[in-house]
Chain A
Amino acid sequence: MVRRVFINGLLQGLFQGLAWALLAGFFGLALVPLVLMILASLLPEITGPGSLSALFAPQHWQLGAYAQIFRQLPVATYALNSVLVSVVTTAGYTLFAAMAGYALARLPVRYKSLWFWLILLTLMIPPQVNIVPLFLLMAKAGLINSIWALIIPGLFGAFGVFLMRQWFSDFPVSLQESAALDGCSASQTFWKIALPTARPVLVSLALWIFMATWNAFLWPLVATHADAARTLPVGLAALKASFRDGMDWPVLLAAATITVLPVLMLAIIGQKAWLSATLAGGVKE
């Protein structure tokens, strides 16, 4: 009896230990590459396995790679483009999604189910399938190598419309009715009453779109060839491609740090809001 209890306890302990080891392992694997990235960006050079020991020696850290990045690359232009594209796309996407979502949830619209399905079915078309025609369209419009080519295709999407529609279908009927009694038109009710109450979900959606736009790679790669319109990820890919014989890893990782840190900080600060949008949508970037 005593022995059985002992063995059970041992097993339990073993399970506990395994569980904690698993969690710790996951934690380490998730964060170590990011920590190594930052540490390596502080080294003067990485010439062989030997220089890896310097990663953890603060006396070797310096900012030389960052200085070189700013000399070698129009980082400020890339960063400004990244910010402009992400901010304008986010603002437009959120606004259009809120308008369409409200109309679908709360307003009388003729052929509503037709419009609903028209929006829903776009989810079936993978965006990569459209890059050739979209490139032609943007070229016709003279927008290749302009940040507008990066902004316009990102302004509309079914995900946001459905998120907002879901939110607005819970908007109290009494508020809508009393606004109508006070003489508000349908659009005034939307702008002055419904939209302000939707702030939490608007913030979630905006964070989600901002990060997805900041991280976007394939379309900006196709639509820009000149530094003037490049965003950080695409500029960085061009930098990597420019090292023909041997990578200058500290420089590359410094550039990666500049690209990665803003979104990571945003992800940590806005963790709750961001999660609620992604969990509601179940849509990956």
Chain B
Amino acid sequence: MPNKFASKPALLSTGFWMLLPTLLGLLVLTYGPALVSLMLSFCDWDLLGPVQFVGLRQYQLLFTGSGSQPPEALWVGAITALFAGVCTVLETVLSLLLALVAFNQLQALGSRLGGLFRTACLLPMATPAIGAALVWGWLFDPAVGVLNAALMALGWLDTPVAWLYTQPWALGCVILLEIWKATGYNVLLLLAALEALPADVLAAARLDGAGGLGLTRQIVLPLLAPMLAFVMTITLIHTLQAFDAVYLLTQGGPENTTRVAVYALFQNAFIGLDAGRASAMGVLLFLVIAALTALQMRLSRARKDTAYG
């Protein structure tokens, strides 16, 4: 085995050759494009004609409004933050509740029901976005959708609502789809952390008379905190990058109320043919995601340092 007294390995060792495909791949397909994005963000380019260097103007334009239009960076930033924030809070609360209940109830009932529960968590997440968007698009459909039919049958609604074309419902629909798709995954992560809790601590607490809610609040939740922080961070990172549901359900509308960051980037680049503007948005998005990813890596390490979760 190599140790620190052994001679330095040759640069072109077997290990290096085995790393090379990955290193080259990431250099060409991740670092290279990221660098080009950064450079394009200082340029004006319609993807066809000549590239023109414009300095910081793209960033300046992103932060200036035109007429009654608010600055795009602020508008898109606000919509993205609203979408990601609501999704993260709701998904975290829901998944914590479900994981705690499932942990308490399903243990006693043997593994079959537990397995079924896990499958239910898994299926929405495994569903391709287009499939999910088509189903929910149909459920939300104003004329023939199940949602309107159900609400009208219950007498809660007099006339059909075009959910996907009316604000603020459109953003709500996109949020609902995201929650449907992603909550199960968080439940599974939290359930895994719960199952890894030290059984002797729980047993000792029960002997001391802690039970039910008290046990949950005083013992389980603090032990679960690292995983909970981790779940919140990855949900935030994931939802800040949302695209599929918006593209498929609302195309950013109505009145740009579902225009999240990646949709705006896509639209600026491939429909607006404004590569500079799209790249400047990309750089801003990168700054946010990079900071959050660094946080996630720290949390991930903290999670591994503790014995459980």
Q: When the two chains form their complex, are residues B300 and A282 in contact, meaning their CB atoms are under 8 A apart? A: yes
Which has the most chain B C-beta neighbours within 10 Å: A108, A136, A218? A108
Q: At the interface, yes or no: B248 with Cβ under 8 Å from chain A?
A: yes
Q: At the interface, yes or no: A33 with Cβ under 8 Å from chain B?
A: yes
Q: When the two chains form their complex, are residues A237 and B189 in contact, meaning their CB atoms are under 8 A apart? A: no
Closest A-chain residue to B29, C-beta based? A153
Q: When the two chains form their complex, are residues A131 and B189 in contact, meaning their CB atoms are under 8 A apart? A: no
Q: When the two chains form their complex, are residues A233 and B14 in contact, meaning their CB atoms are under 8 A apart? A: no
Residues of chain B within 8 A (CB-CB) of A237 are: 130, 247-248
Q: When the two chains form their complex, are residues A284 and B182 in contact, meaning their CB atoms are under 8 A apart? A: yes
Q: At the interface, yes or no: B73 with Cβ under 8 Å from chain A?
A: no
| Set B19, B26, B129, B275: member contacting A109, Cβ < 8 A | B19
Q: Residue-by-residue, is A93-113 near B (CB-CB < 8 Å gives 1, otherwise 0)? A: 000110110111001111110
| Set A110, A132, A217, A221: member contacting B279, Cβ < 8 A | A132
Q: Smallest distance from the beta carbon of A225 to chain B beta carbons, Å?
A: 11
Q: Smallest distance from the beta carbon of A99 to chain B beta carbons, Å?
A: 4
| Set B30, B97, B118, B136: member contacting A130, Cβ < 8 A | B30
CA distance A96 to B20 in the complex (A): 9
| Set A26, A126, A190, A266: member contacting B241, Cβ < 8 A | A126
Q: When the two chains form their complex, are residues B152 and A49 in contact, meaning their CB atoms are under 8 A apart? A: yes
CA distance A40 to B134 in the complex (A): 12
Q: At the interface, yes or no: A228 with Cβ under 8 Å from chain B?
A: no
Q: When the two chains form their complex, are residues A186 and B15 in contact, meaning their CB atoms are under 8 A apart? A: yes
Q: When the two chains form their complex, are residues A97 and B40 in contact, meaning their CB atoms are under 8 A apart? A: no
Q: Smallest distance from the beta carbon of A133 to chain B beta carbons, Å?
A: 4
- Beta-carbon contacts under 8 Å, A224-263 to B: 232-233, 236-237, 240, 246-247, 249, 252-253, 255-257, 259-260, 263
Q: Smallest distance from the beta carbon of A231 to chain B beta carbons, Å?
A: 10
Q: A30-B180, A129-B285, A284-B182 are in contact. Are A233 and B129 (CB under 8 A)?
A: yes
Residues of chain A within 8 A (CB-CB) of B296 are: 282
CA distance A125 to B169 in the complex (A): 32
- Beta-carbon contacts under 8 Å, B116-152 to A: 116-124, 126-132, 134-139, 141, 143-144, 146, 148-149, 152
Residues of chain B within 8 A (CB-CB) of A137 are: 28-29, 32-33
Closest B-chain residue to A252, C-beta based? B134
CA distance A27 to B18 in the complex (A): 45
- The number of chain A residues touching the other chain, given as a range, is 35 or more
Q: Residue-by-residue, is B257-285 near A (CB-CB < 8 Å gives 1, otherwise 0)? A: 00000100110011000010011001101
Q: At the interface, yes or no: A83 with Cβ under 8 Å from chain B?
A: no
- Beta-carbon contacts under 8 Å, A111-148 to B: 111-112, 115, 118-120, 122-126, 128-134, 136-137
A interface SS class: helix
CA distance A136 to B116 in the complex (A): 46
Closest A-chain residue to B251, C-beta based? A241
| Set B26, B29, B182, B282: member contacting A128, Cβ < 8 A | B282
Q: When the two chains form their complex, are residues A124 and B135 in contact, meaning their CB atoms are under 8 A apart? A: no
Q: A22-B101, A156-B26, A263-B126 are in contact. Are A104 and B19 (CB under 8 A)?
A: yes
Q: Smallest distance from the beta carbon of B84 to chain A beta carbons, Å?
A: 13
| Set A155, A185, A217, A256: member contacting B14, Cβ < 8 A | A185
CA distance A119 to B55 in the complex (A): 30
Q: When the two chains form their complex, are residues B248 and A240 in contact, meaning their CB atoms are under 8 A apart? A: yes
CA distance A249 to B270 in the complex (A): 28
Q: At the interface, yes or no: B204 with Cβ under 8 Å from chain A?
A: no
CA distance A15 to B105 in the complex (A): 11
Closest A-chain residue to B191, C-beta based? A279
Q: When the two chains form their complex, are residues B180 and A110 in contact, meaning their CB atoms are under 8 A apart? A: no
Q: Residue-by-residue, is A10-35 near B (CB-CB < 8 Å gives 1, otherwise 0)? A: 00000110011011001101110110
CA distance A46 to B139 in the complex (A): 12
| Set A48, A215, A218: member contacting B262, Cβ < 8 A | A218
Q: When the two chains form their complex, are residues B130 and A217 in contact, meaning their CB atoms are under 8 A apart? A: yes
Q: A37-B131, A275-B122 are in contact. Are A19 and B101 (CB under 8 A)?
A: yes
Q: At the interface, yes or no: A69 with Cβ under 8 Å from chain B?
A: no
| Set B40, B130, B282: member contacting A256, Cβ < 8 A | B130
Q: What are 5 inter-chain pairs, A to B, with CB distance below 8 A?
A: A109-B15, A133-B37, A137-B33, A221-B247, A260-B127
